[in-house]
């Protein structure tokens, strides 16, 4: 199924959100001294990196 222009734009917007979240969680992980908190921030960052890869693949395909 082909995506509409609006759907592709929404995916592009979500890509931007994921990039921002990756930057924020990376910064938080670097700023904290608590190893457990750092691990949680790094886990969140990894999840959003996975989301970003998945969304990029969908935008590249132009379909869901």
Check if the beta carbon of residue 51 is closer than 8 Å to that of residue 18: yes
Question: Is 13 inside any structural domain?
Answer: no
Cα–Cα distance measured from residue 39 to residue 41, given in angstroms and rounded to the nearest whole number: 5
R_g of the chain, CA atoms, integer Å: 15
Residue 29 confidence (pLDDT): 98
CA angle 3, 8, 6 (to 5 degrees): 85
What pLDDT band is residue 19 in, cutting at 50, 70 and 90?
A: very high
Q: Provide φ and ψ at 34, rounded to 5°.
A: -80, 120
pTM confidence score: 0.85
Inside any domain, residue 33: yes
Q: Which of 60, 59, 61 is nearest to 11 (CA)?
A: 59
| Total structural domains within the chain | 1
Any domain includes 2: no
- Rounded to the nearest integer, the mean pLDDT of the chain is 91
């Amino acid at each position: 199924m082909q995506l509409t222009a609006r759907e592709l734009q929404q995916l592009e917007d979500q890509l931007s959100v994921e990039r921002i979240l990756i930057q924020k969680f990376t910064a938080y992980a670097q700023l904290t001294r608590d190893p457990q908190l750092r691990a949680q921030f790094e886990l969140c960052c990894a999840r959003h990196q996975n989301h970003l890869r998945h969304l990029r693949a969908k935008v590249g395909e132009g379909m869901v």
